[in-house]
Structure 1
Amino acid sequence: MQKSKLFIALLGISILPFSGFTQEKKDAAPANWFNLDYKTDGVMGISTEKAYGLLKGRKATPVIVAVIDGGVDVHHEDLKDVLWINKKEEQKTGKDKDGNGYIDDKYGWNFIGNANGENVNYDNLEVTRQIVKYEPKYSAVLPSTNLTEAERREFVAYQGMVSDYTSKLDEAQFGDQNYSRLKANIDKLIASIGKAPKDISKSDLDAYKADNDQQKMALRIAKKEVEGGSFSKFYDDIKDAADYFGAQVKYHLNKEFNPRSIVGDKYEDVSERYYGNPDVKGPDAEHGTHVAGIIGAKRNNNIGINGVADHVQIMAVRVVPNGDERDKDVANGIRYAVDNGAKVINMSFGKGYSNTKKIVDDAVKYAQEKDVLLIHAAGNDGKDIDITPNYPNKYFTDSLNAVTGEASNWITVGATAWKLDGDLLAGFSNYGYKSVDVFAPGVAIYSTMPENQYKEQQGTSMAAPVVAGLAAMLRSYYPQLTAQEVKEIILKSVTKVDQKVKIKKDGNSKKVYLDEISTSGGIVNAYEAVVQANKYIGKKK
């Protein structure tokens, strides 16, 4: 799950799942900033608009980009013209007309639903599922218990999971209690003022008389957050936080909750591939719709936003619930995308544990054999993922978790902001000298949302599709380039900055250069990537 876990300081609670409370209200990012150029526009975008100047007159062919995510609103006004459509399945007939094993898959496929149209919305975190799996075996183990070497490794891993789970549950219960209370008091405030949240002003707050200490605290927080901003956005953030922590307690960390029966697959059979339904939107398509817009929202149509790629077809593959995705679904999502023509796959999700990593590794190898480039978000925990892994990842491992190889068709993306200063690296972004390949804009990214809406969000989930869009641009204008060559071009053409950025390491803040926390040492640059692509093509002739 790659809902952005952004750090805030409100009521002593950290890890708000969405945007808000984090950006200076009087210092908003310029519109379309992720596509802009530093020299021309003064922001650390990827120079997309400048790149199209170099591409003028060059022919392009559409490239299919699979968005493996939580769902995409395929009827969005700024996406409906850039969708992949399975021509043989355009008409809903209840039959598998193209023989690919999936019935009525017009826009893609949903692996977390059933044939009756029911869908999984919430699911556990992977750590919860792992504890449920190992608890019966290891909860009563003592230091004197006789265990095999393999069991001892499992037991040590289980102990780490219990510690992680307990910490997460404590935080979730604390957040749920405080945010639900804050929201209740804000709701009372709204009812008393008698206006819709979008119409409430600072003068309304100044005139409001709180009845008790809790309402006084809620009012004080509201006034502080509304300065230079809007009450409506503040209220949306409060609702998001209350929903997030409530879901953590009720679903993500609830060991008694298991929605898999909805899907109706033979879950333990990891080779099973044909299950699910064609509802690629699902019950919550906010995240996937936002990601899809960054990649390829129709450019220059005077509607909404400009995506990065201008010759793209978005294929929607739903595998991510509100909770952690399951390895079986991820592997099947990758294979579906590859088999149906995707040349770039965006994966803006991740988790701290993997139950059956091998089946995902095998799917990644399959994509590699088929010349498909995979773009993955680094994660939003502000950690060094060389030390604390984020799954899936580019490393192939054996049964002892020893690295046996590395995918050549994989790019891991961290997130950056628009200013060239010490805060260039997004505070939430994971990093890693070996594990993170590049950085891309991921703060205050304005993109598409369901029902023809638009919204700013942030996270490495937003940075990855910037890179996926760039990869699609290169593969559409330079179709002779392989996935590995596109990766090499993207990594070689990054913007390197002589500016240290702040990271948290071992509980302390320190300053480092980007080349100390990534393999490329820079931020992707579309203009320079096109320059490099022209050189590659010149060498091939």
Structure 2
Amino acid sequence: MNITPSLKKVIGLCLPLLFSISAIAQPVRPKANWQNLDLQADGMFGISTEKAYNELLKDKKPVPVIVAVLDGGVDINHEDLKNVIWVNTKEIAGNGIDDDHNGYADDVNGWNFLGSKKGNVEFDNLEITRILKKDWYKYAYADTTKLSKDELAKYHQQQKLSRELNDKLEDARKNLDLYTKVKTVYERVFKKIGKQEPTLEDFADFIPDNPMEAQVKMVTMRELPKAKNFKEFYAQSIIDPIKFCNEEINYHLNLDYDSRDIVGDDYNNSNEHYYGNPTVNGPTTTHGTHVAGIIGASRDNGIGVKGVANNVQIMSVNCVPNGDERDKDIANAIRYAVDNGAKVINMSFGRPYCTDKAVVDEAIKYAMSKDVLLVHAAGNDNEDLDKKANYPTPFYNDGGHADAWLTVGASGFRDDQTLKADFSNYGKQTVDVFAPGIKINSTVPGSAYVEYGGTSMASPVVAGLAALIRSYYPKLTAVQVKEIIIASVVKVNHNVDIERKGKIKHIAFADLCRTGGIVNAYQALKLAESRAN
């Protein structure tokens, strides 16, 4: 049984593979730090970061670059991040005063647009839920004979969205039932084996008593070698999906749930900027912390993982709850990052619906005017973005597009038919590049490290590369950095597997994105050197 697309947003795109058919073809384990390794030297289709440091950058001095992580917050005290966290030196922490007069009091390490003095938002609806809720009473029991043409169109749209939401709810309930039953089988197996965290050898010796136990044994024997240990395998394959299904039912798709009163803003006022609080490590920091580590975890401290860029300052801007982000918060997060010195902005989020695109467009235009590069995850629904949008997008409602913008798909570590991550969105006209996004080991709260996969992990690889280029070649503009990244990809000249309507098709990787390739730090820095002189 394939995982439903909605389930692929577990912990912001960490993907359980328990019943994924396409997972069978995946290699067992990548090498440590694989996203930064070199295909020729290491056999891993990384972006050749280590090669670039060893051969191109060892005698060069970088300048600091601020990278804004627009996400759910960052653990600023993590052992591998605390030395790379942005500090607003013009602000005095904890005095309740806006010392630098930027409109945000005590914003020492960034800002949180999902909170107030009352607390912080953890869960929110999906955008589809908010759209339905807004006009629910007007259209739920409407007499269609009395509706105007425009109202009738809105009524039909509401009916379509209502069916989609109900389908999502049904999927969530079915998946919850499935994973709960599998969890029960595992618990029975644990009891028979006599361990809560059995080894591969324990499962090999285990003799099943029924078909369900046999299925659990088979899947575990196949998938456990791909994880660091059983605890990680079990969490990502069983515990996290159950948690996510409950969150979908209780929060994301629940028309009766609303957390916005915690923020206390006038949500209908798109021009309101000054709300929130300075808590940048709130209740949903796992995803943002993982993203931050990929970009810039300390490379020279001998612990943890290595970020792509070695001289970044991570600015945490919290605008993404457990649920769908809101356009007003995204726009304000972009503006905050730009106004406070960010030169690269990572956006590992997205959704299929957008209700206030104009306010986001204006913020993106503002970022373009200030020479800031925006990097956005393509999304994890295995969809063609040429046909179905993943918001925000670089294309403005009033025409034109953002020149300094990169949309990133996710790739794997083997140069074979599995190179495209099975979950990754794609688009020959709308996705710019692909980057490593499977089994990426990075930072999570509490000075811990976990492997996650998703375009959420691929996007910060590219954001880290952009920061690396801007750090060593600071005179290059955001548009030039984008052009360099695009021009220096490693082209992929073979077919890859892609699942469509339950069947595996073989298509040219060149048809998945504009460049037909994987980003490469070594080639990009060589090109940057030639263009900077």
Same fold (TM over 0.5): yes
Match in the other structure for 1:401: none
Amino acid at match of 1:157: Q
The structural deviation recorded for 1:275 is 1.1
Q: Deviations over 1:12-36 (max 9, x none)?
A: 9974733342555862011111101
* 1-structure distance, mates of 2:44, 2:380: 22
The 10-residue stretch of structure 1 (461-470 or 94-103) with the greater mean CA deviation from structure 2? 94-103
The TM-score with structure 1 as length reference comes to 0.90
Evaluate the alpha carbon distance shift between residue 97 and residue 9 of structure 1 in structure 2; reply closer, same or farther with a 3 A threshold: same
Match in the other structure for 2:133: 132
* 1-structure distance, mates of 2:5, 2:532: 55
The structural deviation recorded for 1:194 is 5.4
Secondary structure, in 3 states, of the residue corresponding to 2:219?
Answer: helix
Match in the other structure for 1:394: 394
The structural deviation recorded for 1:187 is 4.0
- Does the 8 Å CA contact 1:205/1:219 hold for their aligned counterparts? no
Amino acid at match of 1:51: A
- Does the 8 Å CA contact 2:382/2:426 hold for their aligned counterparts? yes
Match in the other structure for 2:478: 483
- Does the 8 Å CA contact 2:66/2:344 hold for their aligned counterparts? yes
Amino acid at match of 2:233: F
Secondary structure, in 3 states, of the residue corresponding to 1:316?
Answer: strand
Match in the other structure for 1:307: 307
The structural deviation recorded for 1:162 is 2.2
- Does the 8 Å CA contact 1:352/1:391 hold for their aligned counterparts? yes
1:496 to 463, 467, 491: 491
The 10-residue stretch of structure 1 (10-19 or 376-385) with the greater mean CA deviation from structure 2? 10-19
The structural deviation recorded for 1:180 is 2.6
The structural deviation recorded for 1:159 is 3.4
Amino acid at match of 1:109: W
The structural deviation recorded for 1:192 is 6.6
Q: Deviations over 1:174-199 (max 9, x none)?
A: 1122223333453455467654x335
* 1-structure distance, mates of 2:267, 2:518: 40
Evaluate the alpha carbon distance shift between residue 51 and residue 449 of structure 1 in structure 2; reply closer, same or farther with a 3 A threshold: same
> Are 1:59 and 2:61 matched, yes or no?
yes
* 1-structure distance, mates of 2:531, 2:413: 30
* 1-structure distance, mates of 2:296, 2:108: 19
Match in the other structure for 1:345: 345
Q: Deviations over 1:374-421 (max 9, x none)?
A: 0000000000011111111111114xxxxx111111100000001111
Evaluate the alpha carbon distance shift between residue 179 and residue 296 of structure 1 in structure 2; reply closer, same or farther with a 3 A threshold: same
* 2-structure distance, mates of 1:329, 1:92: 23
Secondary structure, in 3 states, of the residue corresponding to 1:159?
Answer: helix
> Are 1:19 and 2:15 matched, yes or no?
yes
Match in the other structure for 1:360: 360
The 10-residue stretch of structure 1 (35-44 or 201-210) with the greater mean CA deviation from structure 2? 201-210
* 1-structure distance, mates of 2:192, 2:262: 42
Match in the other structure for 2:252: 252
* 2-structure distance, mates of 1:120, 1:340: 24
Q: Deviations over 1:102-135 (max 9, x none)?
A: 111111011111124x111111111111111233
The structural deviation recorded for 1:55 is 2.1
Evaluate the alpha carbon distance shift between residue 415 and residue 11 of structure 1 in structure 2; reply closer, same or farther with a 3 A threshold: closer
Unaligned runs of 5+ in 2: none
Superposed counterparts of 1:428-447, under 5 Å: 428-447=423-442
Secondary structure, in 3 states, of the residue corresponding to 1:519?
Answer: coil
* 2-structure distance, mates of 1:15, 1:306: 26
Taking only aligned residues, the RMSD between alpha carbons, in angstroms, comes to: 2.4
Superposed counterparts of 1:125-524, under 5 Å: 125-141=126-142, 144=145, 146-148=147-149, 150-187=150-187, 189-190=189-190, 195=195, 197-198=196-197, 202-203=201-202, 217=212, 220-222=215-217, 224-227=219-222, 228-229=224-225, 230-237=229-236, 238-398=238-398, 404-505=399-500, 508-524=503-519
The structural deviation recorded for 1:536 is 1.3
* 2-structure distance, mates of 1:252, 1:172: 11
The structural deviation recorded for 1:235 is 2.2
- Does the 8 Å CA contact 2:8/2:380 hold for their aligned counterparts? no
* 2-structure distance, mates of 1:11, 1:93: 47
Secondary structure, in 3 states, of the residue corresponding to 1:336?
Answer: helix
Evaluate the alpha carbon distance shift between residue 160 and residue 291 of structure 1 in structure 2; reply closer, same or farther with a 3 A threshold: same
The structural deviation recorded for 1:268 is 1.1
Evaluate the alpha carbon distance shift between residue 83 and residue 388 of structure 1 in structure 2; reply closer, same or farther with a 3 A threshold: same
* 2-structure distance, mates of 1:271, 1:13: 32
The TM-score with structure 2 as length reference comes to 0.92
The structural deviation recorded for 1:505 is 4.4
Secondary structure, in 3 states, of the residue corresponding to 1:163?
Answer: helix
Superposed counterparts of 1:60-75, under 5 Å: 60-75=62-77
- Does the 8 Å CA contact 2:5/2:381 hold for their aligned counterparts? no
Superposed counterparts of 1:80-159, under 5 Å: 80-116=82-118, 118-141=119-142, 144=145, 146-148=147-149, 150-159=150-159
Determine what percentage of the aligned residue pairs are the same residue: 48
Evaluate the alpha carbon distance shift between residue 15 and residue 288 of structure 1 in structure 2; reply closer, same or farther with a 3 A threshold: closer
* 1-structure distance, mates of 2:4, 2:51: 44
* 2-structure distance, mates of 1:153, 1:51: 55
- Does the 8 Å CA contact 1:445/1:462 hold for their aligned counterparts? yes
The structural deviation recorded for 1:11 is 12
* 1-structure distance, mates of 2:319, 2:475: 31
- Does the 8 Å CA contact 2:144/2:152 hold for their aligned counterparts? no
Amino acid at match of 1:151: E
* 2-structure distance, mates of 1:204, 1:522: 40
Evaluate the alpha carbon distance shift between residue 193 and residue 503 of structure 1 in structure 2; reply closer, same or farther with a 3 A threshold: closer
The structural deviation recorded for 1:511 is 2.3
Unaligned runs of 5+ in 1: 1-7, 399-403
Evaluate the alpha carbon distance shift between residue 451 and residue 226 of structure 1 in structure 2; reply closer, same or farther with a 3 A threshold: farther
